[in-house]
Amino acid sequence: MNKLTPREVEIMELVKQGLTNGQIATQFGLSEQTVKNHLSSIFKKLNVPNRITALIVYGIQILNKGGIDNG
């Protein structure tokens, strides 16, 4: 499994809190499309098709490793 970048981890933490792409974009001063691009990269790295499955895999990694592997 490829490592998530620090920004991808930050985005996943906000996804975990239930924020929308638009809310995440506002929080980081990014466009919503940039957030979508980050999420697409996350989905590819985690080998998942969507946000919900990404949250599950992300959570499992945190539990199994005591933290997410972000390099």
- The CATH number of whichever domain residue 52 belongs to comes to 1.10.10.10
Domain assignment present for residue 71? The answer is: no
In terms of residue numbers, what domain contains 45? 6-65
Domain assignment present for residue 70? The answer is: no
Cβ partners under 8 Å of residue 25, min gap 6: 31, 32, 34, 35
- Band (pLDDT 50/70/90 cuts) for residue 37 is very high
Q: What percent of the chain shows pLDDT beyond 70?
A: 89
Task: Say how many domains are in the chain.
Answer: 1
At 62 the pLDDT is: 86
DSSP, res 30: -
Domain assignment present for residue 14? The answer is: yes
Q: How far apart are CA 15 and CA 62, in angstroms?
A: 15
- Tell me the mean pLDDT in the region 45-71: 86
DSSP helix/strand/coil, 26: helix
